[in-house]
Amino acid sequence: VQRAQVRAEQAAARAEQRAGEAAREARTAALEEVREARGEAAGNWSQLQLVMAELEHLTENRLPAVIQGLQGARMNAPVGLRRPDLFEGSEVAGYLEAVEEAARAAGTAVRRRVEDSARAGVRVAAEEIQASLTRAQRDIDNAFDEQDELGPDRGAASAQTLARVDHSVTLATHTVQRLRILTESWPGVQRANCTVAEIMESARGRIRQSDAVDYTYQAQTGEAVVEGLIVEPVIVALTELLDNATAYSGGVAATHVHRVASGMRITVEDQGLGMSPLQLQDAERALASGTTDVTGLADPGKLGFLVIGRLTHAYGLRVGLAPSASGGIRADLLVPAEHLVADGPQEAPEPTTAAPMATTPTAPASPEPAPAAAPALGSAEADGFGVDALVPAGTAGRTVHGLPKRQPRRAVRRVAEPRQQEVDDPDAFAEGFARLRGVLADGYGDDHIKEG
């Protein structure tokens, strides 16, 4: 009996011991689970804080950067994740990028609608104004043809007044032409083939300081003929370069024409203060853009480069900028060889003009040519400059009254004449002014152009 009692007590003790050990193990396991749960909760909380920090970074930095980019601000580098070491390639990063792209797409769509609306409005206004200015210039031409009826003294005074009005109308017409181009329309004038010399004189006649352009040429370059399809775009682009050079140059802007392997290069070199690296970078960016943001034209100094950039992409021209040895800026405009023709300027058909302005806008007479790639032009490409004799200029036809009359232009040999000086003889003034009038209105004559 005693032995049985002892064995029972021992069994009870062992059971109690095992129960205690099981309880301790259970308690230890429970504590471990609690510690793990607390650690996981702490990790989740830390992860949540990091995600919240990324969301805060999105709202305070990334989305404002997207808005600034849509507004045209220069961004040094894209704003990415706050902690790319933790979230790069993660699901969180994907969601944040999706939000940023959605905001950018929405802003771009709104901006495009605004730009399209602005372009349409400006284009309609530009077409109407250009048609009115063209009619005004034709009225001036008629007044020139009738001035001999006033007598030599009054005729010379009238011619001087008409010259100022004609130049002002020419400047205004070019300004409207810039608006058309900036709104992605064509220049509005289709020309026949013209010589490089005629292109140069027409561009020089469209700037305010036309007497500040020093232009000489050789017969082999001045008499080279440019295809009519791009004559007007070349004139407009050259006008912008000449206007910029004379506006910022303290002296005369030198202009040279060289034939190079890839075409005809027209160089405009001013004597101004030049551009800083940042300004030169902005100008090159405008030239390379090819499209115009009409909501970001606050800086009028960039308009000329934007106009040129649009023309280079639409017509395959090439333009390059570089510091000049004289301290200013050298601009090179290249007319590609495929747009140079062997024959002289063509006889133009009867002029086709825009319909009179009523209550509806005038549509372009022909579609805009297909865009062509326009890489930047370096300044290293050059060739020799031979010695050829300069030859005299041709003369324009005259009316039955003996006055100058506009005619279709042909390739002529002309000499680089000095700038006109004042004369006391009315007949001599009228003779010289006839040539000046042809220069000022050469780009908008009504004898060999089509307008739209």
- Beta carbons of 242 and 255 less than 8 angstroms apart: yes
Per the DSSP assignment, residues forming a β-bridge with 277 are none
Identify the pLDDT of residue 337.
Answer: 93
From first to last of its 452 residues, the chain has per-residue pLDDT tens of 778 888 888 888 888 888 888 888 888 888 888 888 888 888 788 888 888 888 888 888 888 888 888 777 776 666 778 787 777 878 888 888 888 888 888 888 887 777 776 666 676 667 767 777 777 777 777 777 776 666 666 667 677 777 777 888 888 888 888 888 887 888 888 889 999 999 999 999 888 888 888 887 778 888 899 999 999 999 999 999 999 888 877 678 889 999 999 999 999 998 878 888 888 888 888 888 776 666 555 566 677 888 899 999 999 999 999 988 888 899 999 999 999 987 544 444 443 333 333 333 333 333 344 444 444 444 333 333 233 333 333 333 443 333 334 443 333 333 333 333 344 454 554 555 455 455 444 444 444 444 44
Which amino acid, one-letter code, is at 358? A
So where are the chain's domains?
113-451
Per DSSP, the residues of 202-264 read HHHTTSTTGGGEEE---HHHHT-EE-HHHHHHHHHHHHHHHHHHHHH-SSPEEEEEEEETTEE
Identify the pLDDT of residue 418.
Answer: 35
Which CATH code is given to the segment(s) 113-451?
A: 3.30.565.10
Identify the pLDDT of residue 435.
Answer: 53
CA distance 298 to 302: 9
State the pairing for strand pair 225-226/263-269: unpaired
pTM, whole model, 2 decimals?
A: 0.54
Identify the pLDDT of residue 196.
Answer: 93
- Beta carbons of 340 and 227 less than 8 angstroms apart: yes
CA distance 12 to 43: 46
Identify the pLDDT of residue 293.
Answer: 62
Identify the pLDDT of residue 228.
Answer: 92
Which uninterrupted H or E stretch holds 394?
none
> Which residue bears the tokens 């000049």?
324
CA distance 436 to 430: 10
Burial bucket for residue 311 (CB in 10 Å: 0-12, 13-18, 19+):
buried
Identify the pLDDT of residue 394.
Answer: 37
CA 268, 227, 368, 298: dihedral to nearest 10 degrees? Answer: 10
CA distance 57 to 49: 12
Identify the pLDDT of residue 303.
Answer: 79
